[in-house]
Amino acid sequence: MLAFILRRVVQSVLVMLVVAFIAFGLFNFTGDPVQFMVGQDTTMEERARLRTELGLDQPFYVQFARYVGNAAQGEFGLSLRQARKVSVLLKERLPATVELATAAALLALVVGIPLGVYTALRRNSVVSHVLLAASLIGVSLPTFMIGILLILVFAVQLGWLPSFGRGDTVAFGWWTTGLLTKSGLKALILPTITLSLIQMTLIMRLVRSEMLEVLRTDYIKFARARGLTDRAIHFGHALKNTLVPVITIVGLQLGAIIAFAIVTETVFQWPGMGLLFIQAVYFADIPVMAAYLCLIALVFVIINLVVDLLYYAVDPRLRIERSAAGGH
């Protein structure tokens, strides 16, 4: 088990280095950031001095090595647009993104898994056909379209919920949350539904297909022959084995929720890291863009490691195979 974790950690470090190299390399050639920081009347000498102060006149490998060394210590340099530490900017925006992503992930799981089980067990019912048709609509509509439609109905026409912002927040040190205020909870509803809808439909269809496959296996037929109740078969045997392959996909989807919250945060002007990244792209703020992409890669790496450990814990076949390999 320890060797497995160490191998995964080494692989994760290599992945992070490759992602950092690609991100820094791509965004290092998107344009001269000095052009966005100075006015038209700035002289060439002043531009050169600013470029030297930022270290932009050094070779690429020197800039990259310095960036990796600082990033390992949690320092991503200064924002070229706001002249503030990137780590401070990310720390300010991190609570909003984590709050939105967590709420969306919980909603997708709490609704998606039961609906997937229902459509598998009642696959010929009218409700199941309606749910499957609705899931196709949810998958086919782009995220920004879903957000705009929700704003139009619930914010503009009905006036029940706010259309932008995070509402009032409560601070606990550097962490802020809107879950303890009424306006914060109301502001969270529409972005959460928008961000979770696609993931919810994917989880529902995945659980349905996996459970239908499990229900056709021999050990389920043997359980029926033994006289076990449908409840025991469906939830004691079928569902347990259905969730084993689902864990991997769900883990990746949780990472995707954080990574692709950019569109949702832009539509609802949610003050998270995604909106910060969009603003950084517009102003060619290289340190912010590279830091955001490295942070998202780190999230995926951690989630993959956790998913592998969970897979190892819930699937006895992996433990048996590893023990057999160790015995030889």
Q: Summarize the confidence of residues 70-95 as an average pLDDT.
A: 81
Average pLDDT over residues 261-284: 85
pTM: 0.78
Which of 199-203, 215-219, 317-321 is predicted least confidently?
A: 317-321
As a whole number of angstroms, the distance between CA 153 and CA 145 comes to 12
Query: What percentage of residues in the chain have a pLDDT greater than 90?
Result: 4
The dihedral sign for the CA sequence 16, 18, 19, 21:
positive
Q: How far apart are CA 287 and CA 24, in angstroms?
A: 8
pLDDT the model gives residue 324: 53
Round to whole Å and give the CA distance between 48 and 288. 22
Closest residue by Cα to residue 243 from 205, 200, 207:
207
Of 202 and 2, the one with more pLDDT: 202
What is the Cα–Cα distance from 214 to 111, expressed in whole angstroms? Answer: 21
CATH class of the domain at 87-285? mainly alpha
Q: Cβ distance 89 to 79 under 8 Å?
A: yes
**pLDDT (tens digit, 9 = 90+) per residue, 105-146?**
889 888 988 898 888 888 888 888 888 888 887 778 888 888
